[in-house]
């Protein structure tokens, strides 16, 4: 945003509620929207942030309203800032105010979202203590009659059903694509949004699956003025957003990732079977057994790298044991397939198409059983060893260093940044450097766990492995007050990962007594 359009200093006191309203050519709607919000939120400490991409007089209208009411703030974007459209408009607003109010409400400016509903959503959030309140068009008592035409309504229903089928997190609400929702800012603090789509609520639900959600019914109104921004490009953007979430968020759509890997296993099985029989003259039964073994191995490796890539292995032995366990799990899944298929063809009919239907149902049963067993046993997340607050500090640092394969782990007290304990891999203790102190101070200021990776300034030469310096810093809190930081560094060809950061966060979650 341009310098003259930064949020005014006088408006930056912490409010109860901030409304983020993206606008593009909504000059005819903004004055009435502001008036209805003023009436609906009387007595509430709130502010309104308009994130504007307009090329009409909308910015001037908002500025004029802001001169009358200091709670109205304009962020006007120009040129490259507008890339991403509605998605980046919302994230721009969140970045500007997420730490300056307790709740944020996202809504449209076209008055299809009734301003009077905001008060109801805020009251629901405060009374129930939930993280997200969704104004749902599909909840009991709600309506999407304001959508223009049967085609638009059909697309709306189809796209929200697609999200609910793919992502279990989207099933927390009947309207995961709602553009009208209220969220507790603390619940989404630290999430790194990828603004590839305009359905920010879906992104929040998928990226933070632990959030609690309730919904209130919404009667979606007809647009007050202007024209709808829905078009083919937004539809394609939605599909790109779905693909982005599916690919980049490890836990998103895990069953469907598992099914895709299973389909690849069928190809591996067929290729190995045909190759062994046709080109090497192997006995078909022996070839079948080898092909099944290869497909199970292929599935395990792909599931490890793709479906459950966020699940941490405690050691290489643990990885090998998981691989061995994949075989009996596959046999049990094959048994579940047969247990459905055989009774159907025996007691219903072996004729076409019944045996085909029976085979299909058997595949569903076998795949589901395989997924459940793999989730529970093969790829069960390794629980971090619990931190014993009564253990000596040096023992804590040594265990953390061994688990993370770090070069250095230290416990740093907040305030004076003094070292309580440290553990080094070498014989000479590593010093606590100025860059280390800067990283610790950043974490104490933001209260967010941080992963930092720095590497060689030039590209590594061929046949050499580049070494990277990576560090993990996790704040330790006592009653929301920082008391210290657990800090780890490693200089290696293998960087720390987000999984390492998650592990250290969980490990350090009970370490406050050490610092006190």
pLDDT in tens, 361-414: 998 999 999 999 999 999 987 665 556 667 888 888 888 888 888 899 999 999
Q: 448: domain range?
A: 393-515
How many percent of the chain have pLDDT more than 70?
A: 85
Task: Tell me how far apart the alpha carbons of residues 338 and 148 are, in angstroms, rounded to a whole number.
Answer: 49
Model confidence pLDDT, tens digit, residues 242-288: 998 898 888 899 999 999 999 999 999 999 999 999 999 999 889 98
For residue 228, pLDDT beyond 60: no
Q: Does residue 297 lie within any of the structural domains?
A: yes
Which of 145-149, 403-407, 467-471 has the largest mean confidence? 403-407
Confidence of residue 238 (pLDDT cuts 50, 70, 90): confident
Same-domain status, 305 and 348: yes
Model confidence pLDDT, tens digit, residues 175-216: 999 989 999 988 887 666 665 656 789 988 998 888 999 999
Number of folded domains that form the chain:
3
Same-domain status, 282 and 322: yes
CB neighbour list of residue 398: distance below 8 Å, 6 or more residues apart: 409, 423
Query: The CATH number of the domain where 419 resides is what?
Result: 3.30.450.40
Same-domain status, 185 and 281: no
Q: Kindly report which listed range (56-60, 90-94, 116-120) carries the lowest average pLDDT score.
A: 90-94
Q: Does residue 158 lie within any of the structural domains?
A: yes
Task: Assess contact for 220 and 145: CB atoms under 8 A.
Answer: yes
Same-domain status, 182 and 287: no
The per-residue pLDDT of the chain, averaged, comes to 85
Q: Does residue 169 lie within any of the structural domains?
A: yes
Same-domain status, 234 and 296: no
Q: Does residue 386 lie within any of the structural domains?
A: no
DSSP classification of residue 216 = E
CB neighbour list of residue 145: distance below 8 Å, 6 or more residues apart: 219, 220, 222
pLDDT score, position 227: 53
Same-domain status, 103 and 206: yes
pLDDT score, position 254: 95
Q: Does residue 279 lie within any of the structural domains?
A: yes
For residue 11, pLDDT beyond 80: no
Task: Assess contact for 20 and 113: CB atoms under 8 A.
Answer: no
CB neighbour list of residue 216: distance below 8 Å, 6 or more residues apart: 117, 120, 121, 124, 133, 134, 135, 136, 139
Same-domain status, 199 and 142: yes
Same-domain status, 91 and 142: yes
Model confidence pLDDT, tens digit, residues 497-512: 877 888 888 878 888 8
| Last-in-domain residue among 216, 248, 280 | 248
pTM to 2 decimals? 0.73
| Last-in-domain residue among 378, 406, 424 | 378
Task: Assess contact for 72 and 35: CB atoms under 8 A.
Answer: no
Same-domain status, 38 and 21: yes
Task: Assess contact for 72 and 5: CB atoms under 8 A.
Answer: no
Q: Does residue 385 lie within any of the structural domains?
A: no
Q: Kindly report which listed range (14-28, 109-123, 483-497) carries the lowest average pLDDT score.
A: 483-497
Higher pLDDT, 19 or 495: 19
Same-domain status, 52 and 147: yes
Q: What's the average model confidence in pLDDT over 322-351? A: 93
Confidence of residue 3 (pLDDT cuts 50, 70, 90): very low
Q: Using the structure block, give the residue that is written with the tokens 């003025």.
A: 225
- A 10 A CB-CB count for 326 gives 23
| Last-in-domain residue among 204, 220, 248 | 248
Among 22, 178, 159, CA closest to 89: 22
Give the three-state DSSP class for 338: helix
Is there a cis peptide before residue 353, judged by omega within 30 degrees of 0? Answer: yes
Give the three-state DSSP class for 227: coil
How far CA 340 is from CA of 123, 254, 333, 334, 346, in Å, comes to 50, 24, 11, 10, 11
Query: The CATH number of the domain where 16 resides is what?
Result: 3.90.550.10
Q: Does residue 137 lie within any of the structural domains?
A: yes
Strand ranges, E, within 428-499: 450-454, 468-478, 481-492
Same-domain status, 306 and 439: no
Q: Does residue 145 lie within any of the structural domains?
A: yes
pLDDT score, position 5: 43
Same-domain status, 140 and 260: no
Q: What's the average model confidence in pLDDT over 479-483? A: 86
């Amino acid at each position: 945003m341009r310098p003259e359009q930064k949020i005014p200093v006088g408006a930056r006191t912490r409010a109860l509620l901030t409304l983020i309203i993206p606008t593009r050519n909504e000059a005819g709607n903004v004055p009435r929207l502001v008036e209805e919000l003023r009436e609906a939120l009387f007595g509430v400490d709130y502010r309104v942030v308009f994130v504007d991409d307009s090329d009409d007089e909308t910015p001037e209208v908002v500025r004029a309203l802001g001169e009358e009411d200091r709670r109205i703030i304009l962020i006007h974007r120009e040129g490259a800032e507008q890339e991403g459209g509605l998605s980046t408009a919302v994230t721009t607003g969140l970045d500007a105010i997420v730490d300056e109010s307790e709740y944020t409400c996202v809504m449209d400016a076209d008055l299809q979202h009734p301003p009077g509903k905001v008060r109801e959503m805020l009251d629901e959030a405060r009374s129930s203590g939930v993280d997200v309140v969704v104004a749902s068009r599909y909840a009991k008592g709600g309506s999407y009659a304001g959508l223009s035409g049967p085609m638009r309504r059909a697309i709306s229903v189809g796209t929200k059903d697609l999200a609910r089928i793919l992502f279990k997190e989207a099933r927390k609400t009947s309207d995961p694509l709602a553009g009208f929702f209220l969220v507790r800012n603390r619940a989404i603090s630290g999430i790194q949004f990828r603004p590839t789509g305009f359905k920010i609520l879906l992104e929040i639900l998928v990226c933070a699956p632990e959030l609690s959600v309730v919904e209130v019914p919404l009667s979606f109104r007809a647009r007050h003025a202007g024209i709808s921004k829905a078009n083919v490009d937004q539809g394609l953007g939605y599909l790109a957003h779905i693909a982005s979430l599916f690919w980049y968020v490890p836990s998103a759509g895990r069953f469907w990732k598992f099914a895709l890997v299973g389909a690849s296993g069928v190809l591996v099985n067929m290729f190995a079977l045909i190759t062994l029989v046709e080109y090497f003259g192997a006995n078909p039964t022996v070839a079948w057994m080898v092909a099944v073994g290869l497909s199970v191995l292929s599935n395990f490796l792909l599931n490890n790298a793709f479906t459950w890539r966020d699940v941490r292995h405690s050691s290489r032995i643990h990885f090998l044991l998981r691989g061995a366990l994949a075989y009996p799990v596959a046999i049990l899944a094959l048994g579940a397939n047969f247990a459905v298929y055989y009774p159907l063809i025996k007691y219903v009919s072996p004729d076409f198409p019944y045996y085909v239907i029976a085979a299909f149902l058997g595949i569903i049963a076998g795949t589901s059983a395989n997924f459940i067993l793999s989730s529970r046993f093969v790829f069960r997340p390794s629980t971090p060893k619990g931190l014993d607050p009564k253990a000596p500090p040096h023992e804590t640092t040594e265990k953390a260093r061994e688990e993370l394969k770090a070069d250095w782990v230290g416990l740093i007290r907040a305030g004076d940044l003094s070292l309580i304990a440290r553990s080094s891999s070498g014989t000479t203790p590593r010093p606590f450097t100025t860059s280390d102190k800067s990283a610790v101070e950043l974490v104490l200021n933001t209260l967010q766990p941080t992963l930092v990776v720095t590497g060689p300034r030039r590209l590594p030469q061929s046949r050499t492995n580049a070494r990277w310096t990576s560090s993990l810093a996790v704040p330790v809190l006592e009653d929301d007050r920082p008391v210290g930081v657990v800090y780890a560094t490693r200089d290696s060809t293998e960087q720390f990962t987000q999984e390492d950061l998650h592990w250290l966060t969980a490990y350090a979650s009970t370490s406050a007594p050490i610092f006190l």
